[in-house]
């Protein structure tokens, strides 16, 4: 019962404790969405309802009640069509558009902090869309500079029983840890299929992992052997929890780890962020501004060419305002969209991006004016 305990502790300590943001990352199919769904249900049952954010623009159905859903803001299929992008480009661009207005999301989280002790954030299916994109960095840094933010790396235990696969997954986890530099929990999911004890043993006992590797004869295993030495330090401080998102097992243990990760944030990250805030405030905001400007320029420079005077009293400020307010555009049927998979995106995406976006902006703007001038 760590969740309510954590909640009670913070209430007892007087002032409002900022909510802990759990950023759920993991390979496609590892069970992130199912995990967030299960966690949401669990926290509700503990009388500690979380604030839930869906950042996957391409998910068909969100199986949990999302307080903020990127799909309400950016229609990824529309973005695909208007930019002439394939599915991956559409997802990345949608997240970029959303990230330009993440300040608004931050305000919502701040408002909700008296009601929710936890903010759960589900991310796009393909992990690299978030972990290796400018928008993922902007979102992570925005969260981590204000709230205790913990990375929850979900892995599919049943697909990691091969020592080489396991190691690749762990290297990926390690790279995310070093990139985000945030408190980190590895959730070994799908323990209803296979218990995660084999993985824990591999992490704690170097010999056991070597024995497993010895069954492998490929050249890859030699590389893995030397790399596993490197990973030893990573393993030694790693929080690992076995969970079944489907059955809901392991969640109490998870919240014990979340409490300890939150403490780690307060102890090690918060002072660092405060120090950074003070000494680098201007430099940092300048850099963020530049990043945002670059993003906005990449996607929305055309908005400046539409003939609206700079000093105009128009409420339209930038492309993402339009995205946020343009309402629902026509839904397209599945068959028509799937044709775009045949396009060679490397050739077409960049060349089409600007004119397509220009059309998109003009259409959106027209709709926006119509709506607002009624
Ligand atoms: N057996 C089992 N299957 C799971 C578990 N968690 C997720 N899944 C399944 O794994 C698949 C991918 O899950 P999803 O949550 O969509 O993964 P995501 O792409 O990471 O969001 C779905 O078919 C889920 O039903 C689990 O704990 N046990
Ligand atoms: Mg998902």
Counts for the chain of helices (H) and strands (E), in that order: 17, 7
Ligand 1, atom 8, lies closest to the CA of 31
Q: How do residues 147-193 score in pLDDT, each as one tens digit?
A: 999 999 999 999 999 988 999 899 999 999 989 989 999 999 999 99
Instruction: Indicate whether 216 pLDDT > 90.
Output: no
Query: 310 Cβ partners below 8 Å, 6+ apart?
Result: none
End-to-end alpha-carbon separation of the chain, Å? 53
Ligand 1, atom 6, lies closest to the CA of 31
Spatial distance between the Cα atoms of 32 and 371, rounded to a whole number of angstroms: 37
Instruction: Say if CB 295 and CB 99 are below 8 A apart.
Output: yes
SS3 at position 360: helix
| Ligand 1 centre distance from Cα of residue 299 (Å) | 34
Looking at the CA of residue 244, tell me the nearest atom of ligand 1. Answer: 27
Count of C-beta atoms within a 10 Å radius of residue 71:
18
Q: Helices 197-204 and 206-214 meet at what angle, rounded to 10? A: 110
Ligand 1, atom 24, lies closest to the CA of 31
Highest mean pLDDT among 187-201, 322-336, 358-372: 187-201
Mean pLDDT across the chain, nearest whole number? 80
**Nearest ligand, CA of residue 27?**
1
For residue 241, what pLDDT band results from cuts at 50, 70 and 90? very high
More confident residue, 293 or 266: 266
Instruction: Indicate whether 342 pLDDT > 90.
Output: no
| Ligand 2 centre distance from Cα of residue 112 (Å) | 24
Interval 336-349 mean pLDDT: 38
Looking at the CA of residue 27, tell me the nearest atom of ligand 1. Answer: 20
**Nearest ligand, CA of residue 187?**
1
Ligand 1, atom 7, lies closest to the CA of 31
**Nearest ligand, CA of residue 249?**
1
**Nearest ligand, CA of residue 35?**
1
Q: Please state the φ and ψ torsions of residue 155, each to the nearest 5 degrees.
A: -125, 150
Mutation choice for ligand 1 from 31, 52, 194, CB with most ligand atoms inside 8 A:
31
| Ligand 1 centre distance from Cα of residue 342 (Å) | 28
The set of protein residues with a Cβ atom below 6 angstroms from ligand 1 is: 26, 28-34, 125, 189-190, 192-193, 244-246
- Which pLDDT belongs to residue 214? 81
Looking at the CA of residue 34, tell me the nearest atom of ligand 1. Answer: 15
SS3 at position 195: coil
Looking at the CA of residue 193, tell me the nearest atom of ligand 1. Answer: 1
| Ligand 2 centre distance from Cα of residue 287 (Å) | 31
Instruction: Say if CB 149 and CB 121 are below 8 A apart.
Output: no
Looking at the CA of residue 243, tell me the nearest atom of ligand 1. Answer: 27
| Ligand 2 centre distance from Cα of residue 34 (Å) | 7
Instruction: Indicate whether 325 pLDDT > 80.
Output: no
Interval 343-354 mean pLDDT: 42
Which residue, among 7, 265, 304, has the nearest Cα to 151 in the 3D structure?
265
- Which pLDDT belongs to residue 153? 97
| Ligand 1 centre distance from Cα of residue 30 (Å) | 6
Q: How do residues 105-129 score in pLDDT, each as one tens digit?
A: 999 999 998 899 999 999 999 998 9
For residue 359, what pLDDT band results from cuts at 50, 70 and 90? low
Instruction: Indicate whether 9 pLDDT > 60.
Output: no
Ligand 1, atom 11, lies closest to the CA of 29
| Ligand 1 centre distance from Cα of residue 262 (Å) | 26
């Amino acid at each position: 019962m760590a969740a309510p305990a954590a909640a009670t502790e913070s209430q007892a300590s007087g002032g409002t404790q900022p909510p802990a943001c759990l950023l759920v990352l993991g390979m496609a199919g590892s069970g992130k969405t199912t995990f967030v769904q299960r966690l949401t249900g669990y926290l509700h049952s503990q009388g500690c309802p979380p604030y839930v954010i869906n950042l996957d623009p391409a998910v068909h159905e969100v199986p949990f009640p999302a307080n903020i859903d990127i799909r309400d803001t950016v229609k990824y299929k529309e973005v695909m069509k208007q930019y002439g992008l394939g599915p991956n480009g559409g997802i990345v661009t949608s997240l970029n558009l959303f990230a330009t207005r993440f300040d608004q999301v931050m305000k919502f989280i701040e408002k909700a902090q008296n009601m929710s002790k936890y903010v759960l954030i589900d991310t796009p299916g393909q992990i690299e869309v978030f972990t290796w994109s400018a928008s993922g960095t902007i979102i992570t840094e925005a969260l981590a500079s204000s709230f205790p933010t913990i990375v929850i790396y979900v892995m599919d235990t049943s697909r990691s029983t091969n020592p080489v696969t396991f190691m690749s997954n762990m290297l990926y986890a390690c790279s995310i840890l070093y990139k985000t530099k945030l408190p980190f929990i590895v959730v070994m999911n799908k323990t209803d299929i296979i218990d995660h004890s084999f993985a824990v043993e591999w992490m704690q006992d170097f010999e056991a992992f070597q024995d497993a590797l010895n069954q492998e004869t490929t050249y890859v295993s030699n590389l893995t052997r030397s790399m596993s030495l490197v990973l030893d330090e990573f393993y030694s401080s790693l929080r690992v929890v076995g969970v079944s998102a489907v059955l809901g097992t392991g969640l109490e243990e998870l919240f014990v780890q979340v409490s300890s990760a939150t403490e780690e944030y307060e102890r090690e990250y918060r002072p660092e962020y405060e120090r950074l805030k003070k000494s680098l405030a201007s430099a940092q905001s300048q850099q963020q501004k530049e990043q945002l400007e670059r993003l906005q320029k990449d996607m929305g420079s055309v908005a400046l060419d539409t003939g609206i005077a700079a000093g105009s009293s128009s409420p339209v400020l930038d492309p993402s305002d339009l995205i946020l307010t343009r309402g629902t555009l026509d839904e397209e049927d599945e068959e028509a969209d799937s044709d775009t998979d045949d396009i060679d995106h490397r050739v077409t995406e960049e060349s089409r991006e600007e004119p397509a976006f220009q059309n998109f902006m003009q259409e959106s703007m027209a709709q926006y004016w119509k709506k607002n001038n009624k």
